[in-house]
């Protein structure tokens, strides 16, 4: 079975949450007889047949970026050629340009939409986009959501309940690099035995301004791994507050990220609005058996993190509650250890890559029948 994944960005150029989902589906699919290929856009160049892990990725040249949406003239041709060779097309939503390509190309292949997020920020543009969006979602043969929490809180998804399946995002620990003892020793020496970790893009919806405010009270080591458009502003704010306990690392290779996940005391994840639809970093921390701190925003974050079981859940935009949650975990290591153990058990029960790929393969095969 040949499956074409279509999304605006992909590895190795970008390493976000949707890219991780596509990577896990593509790598894990081989066990189920699925030959996956990925088409995305690249600002650098158009390229065919780049090996990513054990599958092929292709790029069309990015011509224009507008309101977080990439556009490409060559993508129309590239998509049509690759889709003709595929048995299934797996779209990754949202990306309005993708909807246009879908209709213009007129490819008659069974289609699955992996629905990663509602459109939250661009409310005015959403009004213009809605007719196209609903036409696209109506034309899809099947829609996959990543958590029941998100379905419950998404009016858009509730319109398509007749062709909707919930398949939680899953990860495969074996796809993460082995970390050398010297790498572990390096980070141990730098941050000591206990520190809180945030991993992710430094974007408007991550709630990091509340984490910095909380760090004024909870004066524990806090490591922020990632970069993004909020980086300069956040560093300026940390300097203004004199937060010597907050460490910005920027982007680092995967072995450094894995080392930090292995060593951290807990994962702090203060995303405060629905643009954070799931929380791959929370899932990574659960996989490594870490207690979690997250906000209740009606999305997958509190499908991963069960309050009082796998970690602590606080109201969004509440720096005082965030500080208190960090203090509670820090002052109660036995409780924190048990929450980390429960997070790892929940990961194994629900969030492995094999469970995700198995469920997707079942959807694919049902469409081919």
What are the DSSP calls for 12-43, one per residue? TT---HHHHHHHHHHHHGGGGT-EEEEEEEES
| pLDDT score recorded for residue 13 | 86
| pLDDT score recorded for residue 127 | 85
| pLDDT score recorded for residue 30 | 95
Residues of each domain in the chain carrying CATH 3.40.50.2000: 2-172+352-368, 175-350
> Is the model's pLDDT at 332 over the cut of 90?
yes
**Which residue is it, tokens 């034309």?**
139
Share of the chain above pLDDT 90, in %: 91
Six token digits for residue 133 = 């969006």
DSSP output for 43-73: SS--EEEEEETTEEEEEEE--EEETTEEE-S
- Cβ atoms 84, 342 nearer than 8 A: no
For residues 92-100, give the mean pLDDT. 96
For residues 12-34, give the mean pLDDT. 94
DSSP output for 121-186: S-HHHHHHHHHHHHHHHHH-SEEEES-HHHHHH-HHHHTTGGGEEE----B-GGGSPP--HHHHHH
| pLDDT score recorded for residue 14 | 85
- Cβ atoms 304, 323 nearer than 8 A: no
- What are the φ and ψ backbone dihedral angles of 144, each rounded to 5 degrees? -115, 125
> Is the model's pLDDT at 124 over the cut of 80?
no
SS3 293: strand
pLDDT tens profile 257-309: 999 999 999 999 999 999 999 999 999 999 999 999 999 999 999 999 999 99
Q: How confident is the model at residue 369 (pLDDT cuts 50, 70, 90)?
A: confident
Which class is domain 2-172+352-368? alpha beta
As beta bridge partners, residue 314 has 295
For residues 316-332, give the mean pLDDT. 98
| pLDDT score recorded for residue 12 | 87
| pLDDT score recorded for residue 269 | 98
> Is the model's pLDDT at 165 over the cut of 90?
yes
| Among the listed residues 250, 221, 183, 219, the one whose alpha carbon sits nearest the alpha carbon of residue 15 | 250
Six token digits for residue 365 = 């095969």
For residues 231-257, give the mean pLDDT. 97
What CATH topology corresponds to 175-350?
Rossmann fold (3.40.50)
* Higher-scoring residue by pLDDT: 87, 15: 87
> Is the model's pLDDT at 23 over the cut of 80?
yes
As beta bridge partners, residue 17 has none
In this structure, of 120-124, 240-244, 326-330, the range with the lowest mean pLDDT score is 120-124
Q: How confident is the model at residue 15 (pLDDT cuts 50, 70, 90)?
A: confident
DSSP output for 324-364: HHHHHHHH-HHHHHHHHHHHHHHHHHH-BHHHHHHHHHHHH
As beta bridge partners, residue 56 has 37, 51
CA atoms within 13 A on the CB side of 246: 27
| pLDDT score recorded for residue 65 | 87
For residues 146-151, give the mean pLDDT. 96
For residues 102-120, give the mean pLDDT. 94
For residues 104-126, give the mean pLDDT. 88
pTM of the model: 0.93
**Which residue is it, tokens 């609005």?**
273
pLDDT tens profile 189-240: 999 889 999 999 999 999 999 999 999 999 999 999 999 999 999 999 999 9
For residues 82-104, give the mean pLDDT. 97
- Provide the pairing of β-strand 2-6 with 142-145: unpaired
- Cβ atoms 227, 251 nearer than 8 A: yes
């Amino acid at each position: 079975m040949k499956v074409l994944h279509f999304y605006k960005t992909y590895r190795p150029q970008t390493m976000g949450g949707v890219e991780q989902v596509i990577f896990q589906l593509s790598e894990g699919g081989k066990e189920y007889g699925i030959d996956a290929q990925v088409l995305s856009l690249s600002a650098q160049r158009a390229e065919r047949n780049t090996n990513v892990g054990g599958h092929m990725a292709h790029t069309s040249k990015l011509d224009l970026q507008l309101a977080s949406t990439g556009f490409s003239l060559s993508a129309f041709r590239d998509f049509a050629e690759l889709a003709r060779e595929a048995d299934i097309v797996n779209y990754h939503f949202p990306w309005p340009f993708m909807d246009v390509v879908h209709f213009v190309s007129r490819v008659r292949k069974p289609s699955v939409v992996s629905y990663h997020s509602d459109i939250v920020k661009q409310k005015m543009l959403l009004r213009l986009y809605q007719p196209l969006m609903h036409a696209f979602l109506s034309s899809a043969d099947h829609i996959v959501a990543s958590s029941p929490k998100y379905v419950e809180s998404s009016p858009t998804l509730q319109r398509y309940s007749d062709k909707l399946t919930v398949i939680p995002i899953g990860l495969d620990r074996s796809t993460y690099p082995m970390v050398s003892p010297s790498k572990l020793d390096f980070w141990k020496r730098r941050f000591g035995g206990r520190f809180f970790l945030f991993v992710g893009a430094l974007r408007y919806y991550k709630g990091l301004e509340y984490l910095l405010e909380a760090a004024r009270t909870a004066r524990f080591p806090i490591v922020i791994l990632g970069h993004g458009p909020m980086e300069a502003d956040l560093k300026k704010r940390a300097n203004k507050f004199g937060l010597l306990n907050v460490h910005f690392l920027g982007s680092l290779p995967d072995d450094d990220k894995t080392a930090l996940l292995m060593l951290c005391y807990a994962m702090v994840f203060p995303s405060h609005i629905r643009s954070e639809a799931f929380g791959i970093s929370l899932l990574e921390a659960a996989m490594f058996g870490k207690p979690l701190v997250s906000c209740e925003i009606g999305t997958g974050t509190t499908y991963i993190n069960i309050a009082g079981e796998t970690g602590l859940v606080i109201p969004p935009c509440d720096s005082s509650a965030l500080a208190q949650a960090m203090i509670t975990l820090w002052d109660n290591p036995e409780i924190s250890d048990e929450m980390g153990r429960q997070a790892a058990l929940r990961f194994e029960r629900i969030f492995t890559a094999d469970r995700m790929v198995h469920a997707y393969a079942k959807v694919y095969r049902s469409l081919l029948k």
